[in-house]
Structure 1
Amino acid sequence: MAGRWDAQLGGDKPLGEIEILQLWHDHRLPILGITASIGLVIWLCLLSYRAREPAAYVPGDDTSSIKPAATNSAAGWEEKATPLKTTPKDPVGGPRRIKGELRKPNGARVLSEPAHERRIQVLVFYSSLTGTTERTANGFSHTLTTSLQEQPAELRGIFLKPQVLDLTQIDYDEYFINPPKTADSRFSVDHFYLILLPSYNIDTINDNLLEHLKETHHDFRIDTAPLSGLLGYSVFGLGDREGWPSEEDGFCFQAKEVDKWMAKLTGRKRAYPLGMGDPKRDLEQRLDEWTTGVKDVLALVATTGSLGDGVAGSGNAIESDYEDEPEEVDDDEVIIEEPITQKKQKKTNGGNIDDVEDLGRIMKASQPENEGTNGAAPPIAIDFTTYGKKTSKKTLQGPKEMVPKNSPTYNSLTKQGYSIVGSHSGVKICRWTKSALRGRGSCYKFSFYGINSHQCMETTPSLSCSNKCVFCWRHGTNPVGTTWRWVVDPPDVIFNGVKAGHYQKIKMMRGVPGVRAERFAEAMRIRHCALSLVGEPIFYPHINEFLAMLHGERISSFLVCNAQHPDQLAALKAVTQLYVSIDASNKESLRKIDRPLHRDFWERFQRCLDILREKRFKQRTVFRLTLVKGFNVEDEVDGYADLVERGLPCFVEIKGVTYCGTSTSAGAGLSMANVPFYAEVSEFVTALDNKLRERGLAYGIAAEHAHSCCVLIASERFRVGGKWHTQIDYQRFFELLEERGADGDWTPEDYMGPETPEWATWGNGGFDPRDERVDRKGRKIER
């Protein structure tokens, strides 16, 4: 027995087996590790091989309302999906192999997916007690269906047939907590919400909807913008102006609330402004405007996958009327900029000088530190036409562009919101245009002359100027000079370019809270052009051709010049209203405040007044006085009366300066202390009016716009039957142009408009009663 145990223990085994066993015991761990590694490599290779096989890709399973293999041949809509592709290794009827892919946001994946895999579903929600809104929603859906069928072939297949949903018949959780989901995975469907809602002062389904939207937004368990997956939304309200004559009194108040809460829940995806209509008055017109806008947005979404560019704060989900970013706007607008740091100043001063606009900065830098902000004017006016006697290589090579695209000037202006057209023109949307679109008031030109601010384009064919006024909001950014030495762009290029730039900026206002759909629709048709943006418009060599193009499309022209180019002013043909800036009453004051570049600036100034006197029976002429405390207000009333007596303008606009709030303004000696209060402007106007009467001049205070700190003095020529008629008959103006030509014989009285509205006359404030004044946080201001 003992021998058998010895044999089992290896005593009788051959020497080779014992050595192999010993090796295994000594190296078994490394051997096992190597074997496991080889197996892992083989497994990974198999996975890689399978991953390279073609596989059917299903874009997503977030679609819910599509019925498979359904076809509506009568309507022309096809909802049948393209069959899924399967690989040869997939068993028939077995599970499909899906290739994994990181899901992208709806707006980002639109263009990367094949058209047949993507669909857009428009959902039209409504509530109705009397049946009016239901009929309106069904009619709108039919119109939209027909319109979508008329889209180009590449877009037509993207849209599914719009669905009309009664808010009383649906579960809110299925539509207003998350976008709807579809079980059919053959489509990737994005949803677009359109909500038609009447307003009631009794308990209705509207109250339930609003409560649901509020609770969803404030529910800590739900994302604050759970509907951000929507392509977009828009709301149309139906109301009764007999019961609620204005929005302030409650007209369409529930539609406004739904619009506000949808902005929060969608994360600022208001695709088109809130529309509002009265079934007894203007429903058809307002609904047509809203429908047209919605169709345009749907086409844009289908083509680009997004709602387009928006301004800062566009559709802000914080809502609404509160905008905490500083406003940067032109012509009666406040601009708040951060002071330039010393580091940036040194870097700028050390750079190359490409344009003469840098001279002001050089002169400032060369002054002692204690004299940097004392507001002292340069000892002499500089005439750049005699600057240097040698001809540079650049001059020999021909004229350069005024604002090259790679220049600091171009970058600075575009950052300020300008669209640069060509090489020397620009367009920018005005604050008053934005304000009028939102029903918050129009500029003084509406009160005085009947201009709709939301239909006004502010532009200039020349960004260059021959003055460096202390109150200019573009110090150091626009070029300056006394003669045109740049490339000249054709007038048609400028005309088409500024229109396109203006319309693009209007479109960017679609998602801004409070924009009125009817005014947005009107804004897409320019009716007025203010040639007063920045620079000197009559500096452009083809200004008359540019004006003719404006008038050819029945766009009125309001041109402002700085009284430094008498030859161009004399050659100027008919404009709707011609302005000359009168910023001082004497030579020394003009030198300080306008800081002109011409040596003979005062002589030029006086010649321009004489030319305006000659034109006063040809077209409407205006003196524009900008009051700056400490510069041109104190003890200058008599001097201004002398200038009015010399030029005899049709109108005199007196306006308080607007402080820019920039470091360059401080360098020019300007601060908030130089901004007059409206009471001080009114006192100055009254004193000037008295002086004119003492001289036997037939003038009177006609109108005011306190919101702009602006008052209008008018010639008695525009006082008929004891009533002021400062407004313009634009239709008649264009008829005169067509009948008699730009050099024809007519007078300003021939296109004098209707009576100045009572609310705009002196002593009544001048704020449009259709609008509502609010502060910067959207709170109502009592008038």
Structure 2
Amino acid sequence: MAHETWVFRSWLPFEIADIVAVWHEYRIPIILSTFTILMIFRTVLHLRSSRGKISHTPPISPSLTAQKGNLLGDKKANGEKVPRRIVGGLKKRKSSEDAVQIGSQKIQLLVFFSSLTGTTEKTAKVFREGLAKSTQNLGDATTTFLEPQLLDLSYIDYDDYFITAPKTEEETRFFYLLLLPTYNIDTVLDNFLEHLQETHNDFRVDTAPLSTLLGYSVFGFGDRGGWPTEEEGFCSQARGVDKWLAKLTGKKRAFPLGMGDSKTNAAERLQEWKEGVLDVLGHIARTGGLGEGVVGSGDAVESDVEDLDEDDEVLSDEQNVAQRKTKLQKKDGLNDLEDIGSTLNKSSVDLSEPLEVDFTTYSKKSQPTAPATIKEMVPKNSPTYNALTKQGYSIVGSHSGVKICRWTKSALRGRGSCYKYSFYGIASHQCMETTPSLSCSNKCVFCWRHGTNPVGTTWRWVVDPPDMIFAGVKAGHYQKIKMMRGVPGVRAERFAEAMRIRHCALSLVGEPIFYPHINEFTAMLHAEHISSFLVCNAQHPDQLATLKPVTQLYVSIDASNKESLRKIDRPLHRDFWERFNRCLDILRERRFEQRTVFRLTLVKGFNIEDEAEGYAALIEKGLPCFVEVKGVTYCGTSSSAGAGLTMQNVPFYEEVCSFVEALNTALAKRGLKYGIAAEHAHSCCILIASERFKKDGKWRTRIDYERFFECLESEETFKPEDYMGPETPEWATWGNGGFDPRDERVFRKGKNKVALTESQGEVMGDVA
């Protein structure tokens, strides 16, 4: 090889051979030096070019201007449409100035949901966890994604989130995500939609009060089996929320509305929607905003529908025609309002009939409209109807129900009656538990109705006549009693007595005072000498003020202050505390007209600790005849767990006793004449009574029912003392347990029956 190299060099000139030798020896430094010189030269030229652009802008050529004018004129003359040229792209952040203005921001994702049966709640929890993991890598040096928060629409105050965006001390911006199911009954979502609409139409609130949000997006769960298409109601509530949020946020819909069928493809659609939302969040992290939409996308008539107020929209003849055309054929979109006239000739709409135009009004509010269809509260084909019937309810008509109580079954078998027998002498096997309204205006955390009954603040359903309800609930109750005929242990004499209803507890589910004809219904009960125990939730003062006398009137007092009441009862009325206090005033005024009762349901961790003084103040305000203090009953449902209620919230009977003693002491300090009268340990319930019902040192809390009907039928004014019954049995008084000695106590979990003691046997003989 060395010989070949020598031969090659032998015939080359001497100078060329030297150059080649130098190149082989110094080729790497030469290449690097040349590359460096070229880069320096290129940089200098680039800097000179930039300065020239800034310092001098050449004028537009007159010939070019003329050519452009001729071109536009020709195109307008020929009627041709010029395709628009879109110039732009992602707006990058600048390194210095924008970093100061936009940088160092924190983004808080808020995931809102609503759930009746708990399905959407579970989905929302999984979604939030996945979102937290996915957003960890989306941030950069100037943007940080905080841990997403999960919020139940049943809990929150709408004013805190949907009138203005939440405010924090740090530089935090919010992004809303909403997971919403759709039901064919009235739920919290109906009230939420009303709130959004009222906020938009409220002149005191800014047109777009939520414009400070980074953005929002909605996903809806529906059932195509019940609502096959969107026009027929598929995901209608989610679509409504999406529409109103677009108005309130100033068109900050970050990602289109997602919809999925809860029975088929909801999981896949939700995953697709989530990926789209994450892409938008990544865009926000890079650019600091949602970006700009492309103007003119979509149909010209339909794309701007959110900008129009449906109540104030006035359509001209041409616009009506255009809307008809759009609904019938959705083929050739209208690019501009000027194009409407030119396209009318091409339309297939029949214009032979004159259009009806009202020239005397300016708003559709005064236009005659078709009457709205009033729907049923609980239709027979609704999920609510199926859920309630599975729980043992018999639905009467469209909004009433009846159910046999577990204490009725217990009394039929001689295993004890409920506290109403110990306190007031009501035989449980002769008591019917019913309600003329399955709807309620609260969603209490301790409600054992599984959150399946409808909710609402006003009555907007079909109203069934009271006589139909009365006949239906009696028939349903007797049918359920007959089903107990073959149950082992049922006593024949009590079964016979049970076939004659003597008492009615209007406290099953919902709010009975909500029914428009409640007075007619109670009158039918009284006409057959059936006593009426009516329970209301202190949220309907107008109905309470017009209520005619019942045998005993209950008001649920679940908290001693506003915040506790909000957390426990979860009321739908925004002025719930004012309504609550007004009801107490009404009870104070009527305390000498009928027996009034405060029902206190104790929930450990919510309304027991250090609230005895607060309850004493409420009792002083309302001065009820009786105060029932009862420990909460845990139903073990997922909805309760979602509300924060577990077995840890159920107080022991000793804790209820301690609370009652503290409350009694607080009442005595205020100079109120009350005392602990009776108890029913089996129900974890204790009765505090006014000394108006204490004679000769003996409590007389029971009711003379026949005397009540005599007073009622006399149509003369009477007081609760006028139908005060005999003295409370010794076994029911404070300190004696309150279990009916005629019956035998049966313990669960495999424990043997407890035989009657000698003392109980003696008392039983005295009672007999």
Please report the TM-score for the alignment, with normalisation by the length of structure 2. Answer: 0.53
Give the AA of the match of 1:760.
Answer: A
Match of 1:522 in 2: 497
The 1:405–1:761 alpha-carbon spacing in structure 2 relative to 1, beyond 3 Å, is same
Q: Is the 8 A contact 1:375 1:668 kept in 2?
A: no
Does residue 476 of structure 2 align to residue 501 of structure 1?
yes
Q: Is the 8 A contact 1:629 1:675 kept in 2?
A: yes
Shift, 1:389, TM fit:
4.1
Does residue 719 of structure 2 align to residue 747 of structure 1?
yes
Q: Which runs of 5+ in 1 are unaligned?
A: 1-352
Match of 2:194 in 1: 386
Q: Is the 8 A contact 2:407 2:418 kept in 1?
A: yes
Give the AA of the match of 2:414.
Answer: G
- Specify the SS of the correspondent of 1:549: helix
Match of 1:333 in 2: none
- Specify the SS of the correspondent of 1:711: strand
Shift, 1:560, TM fit:
0.3
Q: Deviations over 1:232-252 (max 9, x none)?
A: xxxxxxxxxxxxxxxxxxxxx
The 1:610–1:642 alpha-carbon spacing in structure 2 relative to 1, beyond 3 Å, is same
Give the AA of the match of 2:752.
Answer: R
Q: Is the 8 A contact 2:118 2:639 kept in 1?
A: no
Give the AA of the match of 2:754.
Answer: I
Does residue 607 of structure 2 align to residue 607 of structure 1?
no
Q: Is the 8 A contact 1:693 1:699 kept in 2?
A: yes
Q: Is the 8 A contact 2:602 2:632 kept in 1?
A: yes
Give the AA of the match of 2:642.
Answer: G
In 1, Cα distance between equivalents of 2:673 and 2:655: 24
Match of 1:63 in 2: none
In 2, Cα distance between equivalents of 1:773 and 1:360: 36
Shift, 1:682, TM fit:
0.1
In 2, Cα distance between equivalents of 1:385 and 1:600: 17
Match of 1:767 in 2: 739
Match of 1:377 in 2: 155
Match of 1:459 in 2: 434
Q: Deviations over 1:455-508 (max 9, x none)?
A: 000000000000000000113310000000100000000000000000000000
Q: Is the 8 A contact 2:117 2:639 kept in 1?
A: no
Shift, 1:396, TM fit:
4.9
Shift, 1:579, TM fit:
0.2
Q: Deviations over 1:404-441 (max 9, x none)?
A: 00111000100100000000000000000000000000
1:172-321 matched pairs, under 5 angstroms:
none
Shift, 1:779, TM fit:
2.3
In 2, Cα distance between equivalents of 1:424 and 1:550: 18
Give the AA of the match of 1:781.
Answer: V
Match of 1:61 in 2: none
1:147-166 matched pairs, under 5 angstroms:
none
- Specify the SS of the correspondent of 1:642: helix
Match of 1:41 in 2: none
Aligned residues: 427
Give the AA of the match of 1:780.
Answer: K
The 1:374–1:703 alpha-carbon spacing in structure 2 relative to 1, beyond 3 Å, is farther
- Specify the SS of the correspondent of 1:596: coil
- Specify the SS of the correspondent of 2:613: helix
In 2, Cα distance between equivalents of 1:595 and 1:451: 31
Match of 2:634 in 1: 659
Give the AA of the match of 1:762.
Answer: W
* Greater mean deviation of Cα atoms: 389-398 or 446-455: 389-398
The 1:473–1:666 alpha-carbon spacing in structure 2 relative to 1, beyond 3 Å, is same
In 2, Cα distance between equivalents of 1:668 and 1:415: 22
In 2, Cα distance between equivalents of 1:360 and 1:604: 30
In 2, Cα distance between equivalents of 1:454 and 1:493: 24
Match of 1:616 in 2: 591
Match of 2:558 in 1: 583
- Specify the SS of the correspondent of 1:770: coil
Does residue 588 of structure 2 align to residue 780 of structure 1?
no
In 2, Cα distance between equivalents of 1:756 and 1:432: 20
Shift, 1:378, TM fit:
1.9
In 2, Cα distance between equivalents of 1:371 and 1:627: 29
Give the AA of the match of 1:753.
Answer: G
Over the matched positions of the two proteins, sequence identity in percent amounts to 78
Shift, 1:377, TM fit:
3.5
* Greater mean deviation of Cα atoms: 371-380 or 490-499: 371-380
The equivalent position to 1:573 in structure 2, one of 523, 548, 552, is 548
The 1:526–1:357 alpha-carbon spacing in structure 2 relative to 1, beyond 3 Å, is farther
The 1:660–1:619 alpha-carbon spacing in structure 2 relative to 1, beyond 3 Å, is same
Match of 1:592 in 2: 567
In 2, Cα distance between equivalents of 1:431 and 1:373: 35
The 1:543–1:603 alpha-carbon spacing in structure 2 relative to 1, beyond 3 Å, is same
- Specify the SS of the correspondent of 2:434: strand
Q: Is the 8 A contact 1:704 1:761 kept in 2?
A: yes
Shift, 1:569, TM fit:
0.5
The equivalent position to 2:729 in structure 1, one of 757, 764, 767, is 757
Q: Is the 8 A contact 1:462 1:536 kept in 2?
A: yes
In 2, Cα distance between equivalents of 1:412 and 1:762: 40
Match of 1:426 in 2: 401
In 2, Cα distance between equivalents of 1:550 and 1:651: 23
The equivalent position to 1:668 in structure 2, one of 623, 628, 643, is 643
In 2, Cα distance between equivalents of 1:375 and 1:482: 16
Shift, 1:733, TM fit:
0.3
The 1:359–1:705 alpha-carbon spacing in structure 2 relative to 1, beyond 3 Å, is closer
- Specify the SS of the correspondent of 1:530: strand
The 1:636–1:490 alpha-carbon spacing in structure 2 relative to 1, beyond 3 Å, is same
In 2, Cα distance between equivalents of 1:617 and 1:451: 22
Give the AA of the match of 2:742.
Answer: R
The 1:357–1:667 alpha-carbon spacing in structure 2 relative to 1, beyond 3 Å, is closer
Q: Is the 8 A contact 1:724 1:755 kept in 2?
A: yes
Shift, 1:702, TM fit:
0.1
Give the AA of the match of 1:377.
Answer: Y
Match of 1:439 in 2: 414
- Specify the SS of the correspondent of 2:505: strand
Match of 1:645 in 2: 620
In 2, Cα distance between equivalents of 1:703 and 1:628: 21
Match of 2:517 in 1: 542
Note the aligned Cα RMSD (angstroms). Answer: 2.7
In 2, Cα distance between equivalents of 1:516 and 1:358: 39
Q: Deviations over 1:37-85 (max 9, x none)?
A: xxxxxxxxxxxxxxxxxxxxxxxxxxxxxxxxxxxxxxxxxxxxxxxxx
The 1:473–1:746 alpha-carbon spacing in structure 2 relative to 1, beyond 3 Å, is same
Match of 2:378 in 1: 403
Q: Is the 8 A contact 1:703 1:760 kept in 2?
A: yes
Shift, 1:398, TM fit:
1.6
Match of 2:699 in 1: 724
In 2, Cα distance between equivalents of 1:509 and 1:405: 26
- Specify the SS of the correspondent of 2:672: coil
Give the AA of the match of 1:695.
Answer: R
Larger Rg: 2
Shift, 1:366, TM fit:
4.4
Give the AA of the match of 1:754.
Answer: P
Q: Is the 8 A contact 1:376 1:669 kept in 2?
A: no
If asked which structure has higher relative contact order (CA below 8 Å, sep 6+), I would say 1
Give the AA of the match of 1:386.
Answer: E
Give the AA of the match of 2:724.
Answer: M
In 2, Cα distance between equivalents of 1:440 and 1:750: 33
In 2, Cα distance between equivalents of 1:547 and 1:374: 37
